[in-house]
Structures are given as C-alpha cells and as structure tokens.
Structure 1
Amino acid sequence: MRFERLLSNDRITRLRLLRQLMGLGSYLMFLAPGLLAVHWGWTAFGYGGLFALVATALVVNAGFFIAIRSGYSQRFRDATLLAPQIVVALALALVTMHYMRPEARGVMLMLYVAMFFFGIFGLTTRQFLRLAVLAVASYAGLLVYEFGGYAQHTPMFRLELLHLVALVMITVWLSFIGGYFAALRQKLADRKDALKDALAQVKELSERDELTGVHNRRHLMRALERERQRASRVGATFSVAILDIDRFKQFNDVHGHQIGDEILSGFCVRVQQCARELDVLAREDVEEAFGRYGGEEFLLLLPHTPLAGALRCLERIRTDVEATPFHTSAGPMQVTFSAGVAEFRPGESSANLLARADAAMYGAKRDGRNRVAAARDDGARVGQLE
C-alpha cells in the first residue's frame, strides 16, 4: 500500500516512475558480481568503495525519481529523463571499471552495454548513436588515461583494445536495433490511439440518430436505466416525457419525405434550444437527456424533476415550438406536438414508466393534440395546460 502511494495516480507519470525503478534495479543486479570482485581482490577499492558507488547510484536515482514524481521533468522535451539517466549510468560504470582489474573488467563492461537496453523505451536511432559515440569515446579516453605511459604492445593493452572494438560493434548494433524497436513501439502506440478513437467514434455513431444527430433509442434506454437505478439508490425522483409531432404523416404525404426530414431535424434543434433555457434542465446535459425514440417520437429525461415541474417544462417547450414556424425548403411550416409525462415511482421498471408516459401521450392525441398530458395514475389531469 505504501508503495502504491509513492507512485503517482497519473497513468503516464506512474509508467515513467516504474521504468525509472527498473533502471535502479539494474544497478542492484550488478552488486553481487561487484561483491565477488572485491572479495577476490580484483578491485582497487574495498567494500567501502563499492557501497559508496552504490550509494551514489541510489542518490542519483532518487533525484531522477523526485524530478519525475513532482512533475519537474515535464518542462523538458524528454519528460522521462531517459537519456540523462543512461549517461549517468555510463559514467558510474566507467568509474567502476577504472578501479577493476582486467579479470573483472569484462563483467563490468556488460553493465556498461546493458544501459543501452533502456533506450528502447523511447530513444530514436539518432539518439542511440549519440550515446554510442559517447560510450565508445569515454571508454577510449579511459584507455588513453590508463595506458598512455605504457607500451601499447602488451597483452593487457591488446585485451582492452579488443574490448573497445567489441564495444563499438555492440553499441552500434544496439543503436540500430534499439531504434527500430523504439520506432515500432511508437507506431504500435499510435495505432492503438487511432483504434481507440475509431472505436469511440463507432460507439458514438451507434448511439446517434443518423438523420437528426440526436441520441437514438439505444442510448436513451441506457440513460433511462441509469437514471432509474440512481433514483432508486438515493431515493430521488425524475420524470420522463414522450413527444410526438402532430400529423407528421401529412407533411410527408403533402410535401414529400425531404420536408419531413427537415421538420424532424428542426424539431430536435428547437427542443434542445428551449430545454437549455429551462431552469429544470440547466444543471443537466440536454444532449444526453433528449433523443429520437422512433419515427416522429422523441424522449426527454428530466432528472431530479417531479411531475409538476416536468409538466411546466414540457408546456414551455410546446409553447415555443407552436409559436414560431419551422423554416423548410418548401417555406414556413407550422409544427406542434403532443407529449405524455410520467413521474418515476419507487420500484418501477423502465418499461412500465415508458408505458405510462406513452399512454399519456396517446391520451393527449385523443384530446385534440398540441397539448401535454400526465399519466393518469400519477394523479394529474390530462389536457392542455394553461
């Protein structure tokens, strides 16, 4: 639990910290061979010197950890501080090898090369090659420093020269391979993001009505069920309204389906604009609460709204729709709608709630259309509100 608190809640920062801790683990892995080298007398320092190097590595890594954890590293282009961490690791390995006898230097040289593998997490081939040049030049400088005053035809120097040639070949090879894998990893990440966006778009399209752009029946049923569960859980209430455009078939028969489509789209825009202006819906997302239920029928959810408030809300929408004709390619069209409203009752299913609202809507149709009606068993009258 304490380790979880140490890491960030941010997914990206958490991932960077885990990689940084992996780098720290690489230092600890070579502690065992370092202890053996000291024990066998293959180093110019004792246990104190070894632990001083380890302590230095821990302090430096703690600094990198704090820089990443605090967000300070985000001001740099490479927020992971990957290249600086590798450079520091190479420097510590170089110091360690300087104090190693030839019998143990080959093992430490493995640590020197192993640091390159962490570049796979994000370095490009060009960055890899820069590090390779730095690593080779640093090791060559170490050899010049150590053998500058000695004969260079000795077996020891030839062995170190062989190490240097091998280092050049391995680091260059790792640079191209590491760069390739880093590029592949980035490509996969980009494709993953593209797929995620595509899936989100498909999901959005699957829940949108193609003609009007508002949410379709599938989305509305999910939203209704969520609202029903919430109301049941906290003991709240909400209402549902089913709106049906009056005499919509006549628009299609007389003016054609294109005009009918324009009226459907215009109706959605009008209802959404009016709903956003209502106090009862001001705190809610109208885009989520309204949609096409089917044909010329629409559904409006009114969260935290009892029946009386829902009736006033629908009446204001009805008045607004009736007051201003719709602009179509065939000229202005007078449009009205009838609506049925039902308030959620504790323990009631979504299907029963919709059935009561639907029955109220048909009651409004029978009573002359262009009116808002409440479900009869809600105790409210059916008819046009004044």
Structure 2
Amino acid sequence: MQTAADREAKLQRHRLRMTLLSVANTSLQSVIIGLYAWAGEVGWSVAWRFFLVGAGSSAMFALIIWRGLNLRLKDPGLLLPQIALSVLIQLLFLVLAPKLWVLFLVAVLVTYNFAMMSFSARQFTLAWLLVGAASALALFAARGRFGHFGTSGVSIAILWLFFFLCIRQLTAIGTQFSSLRTQLSEKNKQLSASLERIQELASHDDLTGALNRRSFMQLLADERARAQRAGQPFCIALLDIDHFKTVNDRFGHLIGDAVLKEFCAVAAASIRVTDRFARYGGEEFMLLLAPSTSSDVARVATERVRQALEAHDWDRIAPGLRVTLSAGVSQLAPDESVEQLVRRADEALYAAKDAGRNRTVVA
C-alpha cells in the first residue's frame, strides 16, 4: 500500500518534471527568437536576454523543487508564481521587441493554459483580469512600434515552427488532463467497488453472507407497509438450529461456524426466488415469505427448508454430525406491528421445540 511519503515523493517528481518542461519550453522559444535574429527580424540581444531571464527563472524554480525547499511553502507546486513570472517576462519582451508581439501574446495564452492544472474558479477569474490588465499595459507601452514578420520563406518557416511548438505545449497539457481523467476514472471505479463492499458489509452477516438483522427488520417494515396498502398477507418464519450449543461443545466452534455457513447455503437453495433469508442472531434465522403468502403456503415453504437441512450430508463437515431445525411461522394480522408479528413467530418456534424439535409450527 502506498504511504503518504510515497505519494508526496511521487508528487514532487511530477512537480520537478513539469518545471523542467517549462525550462525546455522557454529555451525553445529562445531558439525561435534566435532564428528570427538570424533572419534579421530582431537583434541577437533579444534572444539571449530572453533565454537568460526566461529559462533562468524556470531553472530557479526547478532548483527550488529539486532541493525540496518548496515543501515548506503553502503552495508547494509553485504553479501560481511560475505562471505569473512567465506572463510578466513575455509581456516585458513584447515591449522590448514589439515586432515579435504575436509570439509573446501566443506564449502568454499557452502559459495561461497551465493554470488549468490546479486553479480554482476564483483564481481563474482573478488571473484572467490580471493577465488582461497586464497585457493591455504592455500593448499600450509598445504602441507605435509594432511591426510584422517578413514574408520570406525563412520567416514563414520560423513562424510555422513556433506554432508547431505551441501545439506541442498544448498537447503536453492535454496529455496531463488525459492522465488525470484516467486516474479519476480508476479512482471512481475503486470508490464504487468500495461503496458496494461497504453496503454489503452493512446489510449482510459477515460469517454466513445472509442478510443481517438490521437490514432484515427494515425489509420487514417495508413489506408490512406494502401489505397494508395492498391488503395482501405475508408470513415470516423464525428458524432455530436444534441443539446448536451441543454442536459447538462436541465438535468445536470452527465446526459450528461451518454449520452456520452450510445451513445458509442449504436454505438459500431451498427457498423461493421471492423469499428473503436473514441471520436473526446466533443460530436463529428468519424467512420473509412474500408477497401474498398464506400461512399454509408458508408452512410448506418452511418445511422444504427443514427437510433439506435434515437430509443434507453433514458428515463431510464432521463425521457423525447431524443438524435439524425447529421453525415457527406467523402471518401478518390486520393492524399488527412488526414486533407483534415476530413475537408470535417466536412463540410458535418455542411450541415446536416443546413438541420435540425438528418440526414447523404455525401460530
């Protein structure tokens, strides 16, 4: 299992990788400016100054992250200061080299896209307003000195190369988002599986896999409400494994647990599709026989479970082991509560035990 330290180390490697990508992007832009200087569009000083300031500042951030100094900061990703400084540098050189103003404005737009990695809605709005104001100031400061690229084949090729590199940067951002979407989708799948497992554990008995008492009683209350609306009867059966304490004393509690699980498997194979089965507590189990089930039908269904249990081969769990059950059946009476219904089934169960066990009694 990945620890918090492992996650932080992985995140730190990602921060360093993204910052080094910024160094590479700024260096490539310096190359583009250098190509324009070679083509005679601007002076060479613009290219090397941009490289020193742009790539140098990005390299400074990379060094801070590499040394782990960013971990002491409130924003260890340093995304906001990196974006802010990069935008300021681009707009500064727009003023210094207004003939290449299109390059610097496009670079600002590409840099701004990196904000999508972690900016909140409020930060996006603030960044939009600040970048808009800063770009307006830069364009105003450079007014009257704007030019345009030459139309020679070399100038057009350099412009295409710049465009191609910008697309590459946007592709890198898109790749990051694609990776995040994939991770999020996988996390959602894991979360859904975990929630299903939690719901399973909350509603089912962990030993036998049958419904637990809490979920069964809720199911019983819902069925009572439905029966009262529709005027249709239903029945419950309270089942108790005969002399289960003797099974534990004679064969041990591990065999006792095996008996409980095997009993549930036998019962589940014997009941109707519409019936619901639950562990009521200890060696007691409950059947909900619905909908529109009369006490006669409920008795037959419960007897089917009892007979299947009696005929089951228990020797494969423990030689000499025999398991039977006693059952009490009750049908919901008009205006009867769930507690009263269960109490009558319990009374019928005790009547079955008093009559010699291994039988079904209807209240």
TM-score, scaled relative to structure 1: 0.51
1:166 Cα deviation after fit: 4.1
Q: Aligned match of 1:217 in 213, 217, 221?
A: 213
Partner of 1:297: 284
Corresponding residue to 1:250 among 246, 251, 254: 246
- Compute the displacement of 1:274 (Å): 2.0
Q: Find the aligned partners of 2:310 and 2:267 in 1 and give their Cα distance.
A: 11
Residue type matched to 2:255 in 1? I
What corresponds to 2:178 in structure 1? 182
Name the counterpart of 2:232.
Answer: 236
Q: Deviation per CA, 1:161-195: give whole Å up to 9, x if none.
A: 67534422321110001111111121111101111
Residue 341 of structure 1 aligns to which amino acid in structure 2?
V
**1:264-302 superposed Cα distances (whole Å, 9 cap, x missing partner):** 222222222222xxxxx24x2x5xx11211100001111
Give me the whole-angstrom Cα distance separating, in 2, the residues matched to 1:258 and 1:208: 20
1:368 matched residue in structure 2: 356
Q: For the residues of structure 1 that align with 2:204 and 2:356, how far apart are their CA atoms?
A: 32
**Pairwise CA RMSD:** 2.9
Q: Who is 2:303 aligned against?
A: 315
The SS at the match of 2:176 is: helix
CA distance in 2, matches of 1:154, 1:368: 105
Distance 1:329 1:231 in 2: 41
In the alignment of these two chains, the number of paired residues is 221
Does the 8 Å contact 1:325/1:335 carry over to 2?
no
Residue 344 of structure 1 corresponds to 332
| Paired residue secondary structure (2:204) | coil
Q: Please state how far the C-alpha of 1:350 moved relative to its aligned partner.
A: 2.2
Structure-2 residue corresponding to 1:227: 223
Asked whether 1:262 is paired with 2:289, we answer no
Number of the residue aligned with 1:330: 318
Q: For 1:260 and 1:290, how far apart are their aligned partners in 2? A: 19
Q: For 1:247 and 1:154, locate their aligned partners in 2 and report how far apart those are by CA, in whole Å.
A: 97
SS in 2 for 1:333: coil
Residues in 2 aligned to 1:215 and 1:249: alpha-carbon distance in whole angstroms: 22
Give the corresponding residue for 2:268.
272
Would the alpha carbon gap of residues 169 and 252 (structure 1) be closer, same or farther in structure 2, given more than 3 Å must change? Answer: same
Alpha-carbon displacement from aligned partner over 1:314-337 (angstroms, at most 9, x marks no partner): 123223322345225430322221
SS in 1 for 2:249: helix
Distance 1:274 1:332 in 2: 24
In structure 1, distance between residues paired with 2:208 and 2:244? 15
Q: Residue 187 of structure 2 aligns to which amino acid in structure 1?
A: R
Matched-pair identity in %? 39
> Which residue of the other structure, out of 202, 206, 220, is the alignment partner of 2:198?
202
Output one character per residue of 1:104-138: Cα deviation in whole Å (capped at 9) or x when no partner.
Answer: xx8xx99xx99xx9xx9xxxxxxxxxxxxxxxxxx
Question: C-alpha separation between the residues in 2 aligned to 1:317 and 1:329?
Answer: 19
How far apart are the structure 2 equivalents of 1:165 and 1:325? 80
Superposed counterparts of 1:1-386, under 5 Å: 155=150, 164-275=160-271, 281-282=272-273, 284=274, 289-304=276-291, 305-375=293-363
Q: Is the 8 A contact 1:338 1:369 kept in 2?
A: yes
Instruction: Give the stretch that moved more between structures: 156-165 or 249-258.
Output: 156-165
CA contact (8 A) 1:242 1:339 kept: yes
Distance 1:160 1:257, change over 3 A: same
Report if aligned partners of 1:243, 1:299 keep a CA contact under 8 Å in 2. yes
- Residues 242 and 341 of structure 1 are in contact (CA less than 8 Å); yes or no, is this contact kept in structure 2? yes
Looking at structure 1, the residues matched to 334 and 164 of structure 2 have their Cα atoms a distance apart, in angstroms, of: 76
The amino acid across from 2:280 in the alignment is Y
- Maintained 8 Å contact 1:214/1:291: yes
Cα distance change, pair 268–209 in 1 and its aligned pair in 2 (3 A): same
- Please give the alpha-carbon distance, in whole angstroms, between the structure 1 residues aligned to 2:149 and 2:241: 99
Q: Tell me which residue corresponds to 1:32.
A: none
Cα gap change, 1:236 to 1:173, in 2 (>3 Å) = same
**SS in structure 2 at match of 1:259:** helix
Opposite residue 222 of structure 2, the aligned amino acid is R
Q: Shift in Å at residue 237 of structure 1?
A: 2.0
| Cα offset, 1:244, TM superposition | 0.4
Q: Once the 2 structures are TM-superposed, how far is the Cα of residue 156 of structure 1 from its aligned partner? A: 5.4
Gaps of 5+ in 1: 1-105, 121-152, 276-280, 376-386
